[in-house]
Amino acid sequence: MNPDQTIPTTCTMDCPDTCALDVTVREGRVVGLHGRRDHPDTAGFICEKVSRFHERLYHPSRILHPLRRTGPKGEGRFEAISWDAALTEIADRFREVRDRFGGEAILPFKYGGSNGFLGDGPVDDLFFARLGASRLARTFCAAPTGEAAKGLYGKMPTTAFEDFVHARCIIIWGANPRVSNIHLLPYLKEARRRGAFVAVVDPLRTFPAADVDLHLPILPGTDLPLALALAHEAESRGWLDRAFLDARTTGADTLLATARSWDLDRAAETCGVGAEAIRQLAQVYQKATPALIRCGWGLERNQNGARAVAAILALPALFGKFGVKGGGYALSNSGAVRLDASRLFEMPPWTTRMLNMSRLGALLQEPLAPPIAALYVYNCNPVATAPDQNAVIQGLQREDLFTVVHEQVMTDTARYADIVLPAVTFLEQREIKRGYGSYVVGGVRPAVAPEGEARPNEAVFSALAGRLGFTDEIFTWDTETLVRRMAGALTGLEGQADTYLEGGIQTAAFSGGTPIQFDTVMPRTPDERGHLAPAFLGKDPYRFEPVEAGDFPLALLSPASSKMTSSTFGEFNYPQLRLAMHPADAAARGIAQDDRVKVWNRLGEVRCPADLTDRVRPGVVVLPKGAWMKSSGNGRTATALAPAHLEPASGGACYNDARVEVAGLSSPQDAL
Ligand code: SF4
């Protein structure tokens, strides 16, 4: 037997940590993945799901060859065909659609959290621009936070993980680092050991009680009133940093004018927590320096999402918490390093209609002009992840819709495709992966040859471009050339192509060390000020709009779990869906532990067993994000209950505006 090989690479999963990995290869097969010890943030450990990534690599549901549908849509019956036949058919169908309806009848559909610059960006965008395809607003995640961070501070770099240890007060707001940012935990632990006060704002108890000093289990979607009440406390108690606000910000008075109507009692009643707890949070935050807010993505998933994030990001300015190491706020750092695609090629004008991905079900069924006649899905599993799952499925069943899905495993979405293309995993490809939590850019290098005939995105789009007669030079570059050219087109650090080709990681450097907001890094707004009433929020930027619950009194949350990254790993790592609910809500409905229940609203129904837990506050029930249809009793998951309305300022998805009712099912056959 040959000795094991160790291949360095970078994790590409949609996760703030962007770990440096060692992949163990034995006799040509991956047998283990480990966190590198020589990388400061990774520090020798990784999450359980990626440590098992080889189970996905070799899973029986892996797509190994191009496939053509042979049965009804959704049934999952396919025949293997050659790449040549698949690409020719796609190119022919795209040509037909374009000739008949125009290019806008073709819709590219992708997310991209688990991809790098090669697979998500220049090559595919250029391809669809040349086709004249519709553009896609990517709104499943980070649209409200992104707009708020841009609107207030121009995406100023935020506090680095390692600087959390300096904070004397840390508010973790709408984030759960225990499942999706685990490399922050050692820094949180060290901060607490040094005496930091740690508060968590989350409807769910995500930390053991011993690890936090204060937990505010607010009702879903009430983050805005809570933030406004804190702002009101700052003003009414004379804590505002007026000198800072006058010199470094605009718009504080607009925010404060709304905040004045949110005293502690009103906020407490709306948020479903005690006024005393809000007062304590305000007092601790005001007294502590440095004080830090770790703003997550959970609080954006509702119709008040962008306003809530904006109000929260305004708090460090109001309370005077910027300008010190370990102070300010932490959010996405994806803006620190960018790819300047204009250094690679000249992008033609791409001004076609913009369609919002969160409305996929409606878009596929409503009378658009032109209609969506061809759909190309990659880096995405919308049947599991798009709001209004039943509408998405109905849309994908349209016989006149030509659907291509480029995927690693046979997902719920791939089963509806006319053509399925096999995609590589990150263990079989080259990539350049930018972190959005840690300040790193990592090289992804193949540990093993692709299974079957799997190919990366850029190779497929280049091959299709050739068939459609697109002659841009970038479509002729091989993967190594793309890595080299893209490394030279990065801004924010000196991209080192050889480092990326070898699977190494670079860290973005800031003058003066890690960023200190309003000291070593400034808002990237034209006037370098913070804009606390940003234009994108409109005339009444901080108005609160409660969700109409009607006959459905329980708020449904669908948070990230430790089992999946969005829907990735759902093929093997999520055996059975369970509804988490508070024992008091269960008792009121005669539901006992493990009883089979139905969860429903006007959009759909999910059947599964119940888990009674006080980890969930009364009035809230929980189903995990990204679960596959096979994991529930009736083939429907949390997104079947999620409305498709949009957060008004950013177009973001509003999963957490789902309101539901729950009832026990008397017969086991009813549930399973
Ligand atoms: S998913 Fe996150 S924690 Fe897990 S290995 Fe990847 S970067 Fe690290």
User: What amino acid is encoded at 560 in this protein?
Assistant: A
Per-residue model confidence (pLDDT) at position 667 = 54
Report the atom number in ligand 1 closest to the C-alpha of 18.
Answer: 7
Q: Which CA distances in Å does 462 have to 111, 199, 427, 478, 528?
A: 19, 49, 21, 9, 41
Give residue-wise pLDDT tens across range 585-620.
999 999 999 999 999 999 999 999 999 999 999 999
CB atoms within 10 A of CB 342: 10
CA-nearest residue, atom 6 of ligand 1: 11
φ and ψ at residue 198, rounded to 5 degrees: -115, 120
Structure tokens that stand for 613 in this block: 């837990």
Phi/psi at 580 (5° precision): -85, 130
Tokens coding 317: 């300015």
CA of residue 648 relative to chain centroid, distance: 19
Tell me the per-residue pLDDT of 377-409, one tens digit each, with 9 for 90 and over.
Answer: 999 999 999 999 999 999 999 999 999 999 999
User: What is the CB < 6 Å shell around ligand 1?
Assistant: 11, 13, 15, 17-19, 46-47, 50, 182, 565
Give the Å distance between the CA of 178 and the centre of ligand 1. 12
Mutation test residue for ligand 1: of 47, 440, 564, the one with most atoms within 8 Å of CB: 47
The DSSP-derived string for 104-154 is: GGEEEEE--TT--TTTSSHHHHHHHHHHTPPEEE--SSSHHHHHHHHHHHS
Query: CA–CA distance from 451 to each of 54, 60, 427, 464, 501 (Å)?
Result: 12, 12, 10, 21, 20
**Burial track 431-462 (b if 16+ CB lie within 10 A, e otherwise):** bbbbbbbbbbbbbbbbbbebbeebbbbbbbbb
Collect all residues with Cβ–Cβ distance below 8 Å to 258 and sequence separation of at least 6: 228, 540, 541, 542, 543
Ligand 1 atom nearest residue 183's Cα: 3
Measured distance CA(65)–CA(82) in Å, rounded: 7
The separation between CA 404 and the C-alpha centre of its own chain, rounded to angstroms, equals 23
Q: In this structure, are residues 4 and 31 in contact, taking their beta carbons and an 8 Å threshold?
A: yes
pLDDT at 574: 82
Cβ partners under 8 Å of residue 651, min gap 6: 137, 139, 143, 356, 358
- Bridge partners (DSSP) of residue 107 are 375
CA distance 442 to 368: 41
Q: How far is the CA of 17 from the centre of ligand 1 (A)?
A: 6
Cα dihedral sign for 344, 348, 351, 352?
A: negative
Q: Whose CA is nearest to atom 5 of ligand 1?
A: 46
Domains by residue range for the chain, with CATH:
67-134+352-431+452-476 (3.40.50.740), 144-334+514-537 (3.40.228.10), 554-671 (2.40.40.20)
User: What parts of the chain have a pLDDT lower than 50?
Assistant: 669, 671-672
SS3 content of the chain, % helix, strand, coil (to 5): 35, 20, 45
pLDDT at residue 114, as a whole number: 77
Pocket probe for ligand 1: among 45, 46, 441, the residue whose CB has the most ligand atoms within 8 Å is 46
Taking the C-alpha atoms of residue 164 and residue 33, their distance in angstroms, rounded to an integer, is: 28
**Beta carbons of 9 and 430 less than 8 angstroms apart:** no
Instruction: Kindly give the distance from the C-alpha atom of residue 180 to the centroid of ligand 1, in angstroms, as a whole number.
Output: 8
Q: Cβ–Cβ contacts within 10 Å for residue 225, how many?
A: 28
3-state secondary structure of 556: strand
Cβ neighbour number for residue 150 with a 10 Å cutoff: 18
DSSP state of 409: B
CA angle 306, 307, 308 (to 5 degrees): 90
d(CA 63, CA 571) in angstroms, rounded, equals: 12
Determine the 3-state secondary structure of 471 from DSSP. Answer: coil
Distances (CA, A) of 75 to 17, 396, 606: 37, 12, 20
CA of 598 to the centre of ligand 1 (A): 34
Q: Which two tokens stand for residue 542?
A: 């901080």
Pocket test for ligand 1, best of 17, 180, 185, 427 (most atoms within 8 A of CB): 17
What spacing in Å lies between the alpha carbon of 47 and ligand 1's midpoint? 6
Closest by CA to 149, choosing from 302, 336, 389, is 336
What is the token pair recorded at 194? 């040094």
d(CA 411, CA 76): 10
Nearest 5°: phi and psi at 195?
110, 5
Q: Which of 9, 10, 11 has most ligand 1 atoms within 8 Å of CB, for mutation?
A: 11
Give the per-residue pLDDT at 671. 46
Question: What separation in Å is there between the alpha carbon of 43 and the centre of ligand 1?
Answer: 12
